[in-house]
A and B are shown apart, each in its own frame.
Chain A
Amino acid sequence: MRKEVRQIQQMLEEQVYIADAAVATALYLSMALGKPLLIEGPAGVGKTEIAKALAIALGTKLIRLQCYEGLDATTALYEWNYPKQLLHLKLAESSAASEAEKEAAIFGEAFLLKRPLLQAITERERAPVLLIDEIDRSDEEFEAFLLEVLSDYQVTIPEIGTIRATHRPHVVLTSNRSRDLSDALRRRCLYHWIDYPSLEKELEIVRAKIPAIGTELSRRLTGVIQTTRTMGLSKIPGVAETLDWANALVALNATELNDEIMAETLGCFLKDETDVATFKAQMTGSESV
Chain B
Amino acid sequence: MKIENLVTFCRALRERGLSVTPAEVVTAASVLQVIDTSDRDEVFFSLRSILTTSVDDFPAFEELFETLWSQSPRKLVERESFSNTPLRPRTVSHTRGLAFFLEHWAPSHRADTRPVNVPGAGEHESHAQKDFSEFSHEELEEISRLARRIVKRLASKPSRRWQPVTRGHRVNLRRSLRLSLKTGGELIDLAYKRRRPKRTKLVVICDVSGSMDLYSRLLLQFVYGLQNSFAKVESFVFATSLSRITGELKNKTYRRALDRLSANVQGWSGGTRIGASLASFNVQWLRRIDRRTVVIILSDGWDTGEPEQLAKALSQLKDRAGRLVWLNPLLGTSAYQPLTRGMQVALPFINVFAPAHDLASLRALERHLVL
Residues of A within 8 A of B (CB): 1-2, 5, 21-22, 25-26, 28-29, 32-33, 35, 37, 40, 68-70, 72, 80, 82, 85-86, 89-90, 92-93, 99, 102-103, 106, 139-141, 179-180, 183, 186-187, 190-193
Contact B35 A2 (CB under 8 A): yes
B94-137 contacts to A, CB under 8 A, are none
Contact B160 A25 (CB under 8 A): no
Contact B54 A191 (CB under 8 A): yes
Q: Please report whether the interface of chain A is mostly helix, strand, loop or mixed according to DSSP.
A: helix
Choice from B53, B161, B181 contacting A103 with Cβ under 8 Å: B181
Closest 10 CB pairs of A and B: A70-B160, A89-B185, A186-B53, A25-B45, A193-B55, A2-B36, A190-B49, A82-B173, A22-B45, A26-B49
Choice from B34, B49, B184 contacting A191 with Cβ under 8 Å: B49
A25 to B47, CA, bound (A): 10
Q: Residue B365 at the A interface, CB < 8 A?
A: no
A25 to B31, CA, bound (A): 11
B20-40 contacts to A, CB under 8 A, are 21, 23-24, 27, 30-31, 34-36, 39
**B-side interface residues, number (CB < 8 Å):** 42
Most chain A CB inside 10 Å of its own CB: which residue of B21, B53, B162: B53
A40 to B56, CA, bound (A): 11
Chain B contacts for A179, CB-based, 8 A: 290-291, 319-320
A141 to B30, CA, bound (A): 32
Q: In chain A, what residue has the closest Cβ to B51?
A: A191
Chain B contacts for A141, CB-based, 8 A: 161
Q: In chain A, what residue has the closest Cβ to B289?
A: A180
Q: In chain B, what residue has the closest Cβ to A24?
A: B45
B27-71 contacts to A, CB under 8 A, are 27, 30-31, 34-36, 39, 41-42, 45-46, 48-50, 52-55, 58
Contact B185 A191 (CB under 8 A): no
Contact A29 B58 (CB under 8 A): no
Choice from A2, A82, A190 contacting B50 with Cβ under 8 Å: A190
A70 to B157, CA, bound (A): 14
A186 to B49, CA, bound (A): 11
Contact A140 B46 (CB under 8 A): no
Q: Residue B90 at the A interface, CB < 8 A?
A: yes
Contact B185 A90 (CB under 8 A): yes
Known: A82-B177, A179-B320, A191-B53. A92 touches B185 (CB 8 A): yes
Residues of B within 8 A of A (CB): 19, 21, 23-24, 27, 30-31, 34-36, 39, 41-42, 45-46, 48-50, 52-55, 58, 90, 159-162, 173-174, 177, 180-182, 184-185, 187, 287, 290-291, 319-320
Q: In chain A, what residue has the closest Cβ to B321?
A: A179
Chain A contacts for B290, CB-based, 8 A: 140, 179
**Known contacts A22-B41, A25-B45; 12 further A-B pairs (Cβ under 8 A):** A5-B35, A21-B41, A32-B34, A33-B31, A86-B177, A140-B290, A179-B320, A183-B19, A183-B90, A187-B24, A191-B54, A192-B49
Q: How many Å from the CB of B310 to the closest CB on chain A? A: 19
A93 to B23, CA, bound (A): 56
Contact B161 A72 (CB under 8 A): yes
Q: What's the count of A-B pairs with C-beta under 8 Å?
A: 106
A84 to B30, CA, bound (A): 49
Chain B contacts for A183, CB-based, 8 A: 19, 53, 90, 287
A25 to B24, CA, bound (A): 17
Q: How many Å from the CB of B43 to the closest CB on chain A? A: 9
Contact A21 B42 (CB under 8 A): yes
A141 to B19, CA, bound (A): 24
Q: In chain B, what residue has the closest Cβ to A186?
A: B53
A40 to B160, CA, bound (A): 25
Choice from B31, B39, B49, B319 contacting A1 with Cβ under 8 Å: B39
Contact B39 A2 (CB under 8 A): yes
Known: A1-B41, A33-B31, A180-B320. A99 touches B52 (CB 8 A): no
Most chain A CB inside 10 Å of its own CB: which residue of B55, B162, B320: B55
Chain A contacts for B180, CB-based, 8 A: 86, 89
Please, could you name 8 A-B residue pairs with CB atoms under 8 Å apart, sorted by A? A5-B42, A21-B41, A25-B42, A80-B174, A85-B177, A93-B184, A99-B182, A180-B320
Q: How many Å from the CB of A218 to the closest CB on chain B? A: 28
Chain B contacts for A103, CB-based, 8 A: 181
Chain A contacts for B42, CB-based, 8 A: 1-2, 5, 21, 25
A106 to B178, CA, bound (A): 10
Chain B contacts for A180, CB-based, 8 A: 319-320
Q: How many Å from the CB of A179 to the closest CB on chain B? A: 6
Contact B181 A33 (CB under 8 A): no
A37 to B23, CA, bound (A): 17
Chain B contacts for A68, CB-based, 8 A: 160
Contact B23 A187 (CB under 8 A): yes
A95 to B181, CA, bound (A): 14
A192 to B51, CA, bound (A): 11
A102 to B178, CA, bound (A): 11
Q: How many Å from the CB of B190 to the closest CB on chain A? A: 13
A33 to B32, CA, bound (A): 11
Chain A contacts for B49, CB-based, 8 A: 25-26, 29, 37, 190-192
Contact B177 A80 (CB under 8 A): yes
Q: In chain B, what residue has the closest Cβ to A1?
A: B39
Q: How many Å from the CB of B22 to the closest CB on chain A? A: 11
Contact B161 A193 (CB under 8 A): no
A258 to B1, CA, bound (A): 55
Most chain A CB inside 10 Å of its own CB: which residue of B50, B58, B319: B50
Choice from A102, A140, A192 contacting B181 with Cβ under 8 Å: A102
Chain B contacts for A191, CB-based, 8 A: 48-50, 52-54
Most chain B CB inside 10 Å of its own CB: which residue of A25, A29, A93: A25
A224 to B187, CA, bound (A): 64
A178 to B46, CA, bound (A): 26
Chain B contacts for A139, CB-based, 8 A: 160, 291
